Amino acid sequence: MEKRKNITSKIKVEIVLSLLRGEDPELISREYGVTLADIHHWRDQFIESGSDGFKRKPDDSKLIAAERKIGQLQMELEFTKKRTN
């Protein structure tokens, strides 16, 4: 399976603006190597939140890091419980 390209928020804005200008979605899809579903999803995000809708929120990365740490601690706790029994 082909690895997905990481599309920056700047590129997403370019794609959405092309779509809103009336360019053919299939041509945009081929040009940028993205799916039509992605293009329409980004259009909806853009209409709802502007270009800020594409940016990762700082709280998201903190939450992901906290969830990862909790998972690690749960594994350590399970390992310690098994070792003491």
2 alpha carbon, distance to own chain's centre = 17
Tokens 């920056």 belong to: 8
Residue 15 in this model has a pLDDT that exceeds 50: yes
pTM of the model: 0.57
3-state secondary structure of 41: helix
Report the percentage of the chain scoring pLDDT > 70: 84
Reported as a pLDDT band with limits 50, 70 and 90, residue 19 is very high
**Whole-angstrom Cα distance, residue 56 to residue 3?**
21
pLDDT per residue over 52-64, tens digit each? 667 666 566 777 8
Q: Does residue 25 or residue 3 have the better pLDDT?
A: 25
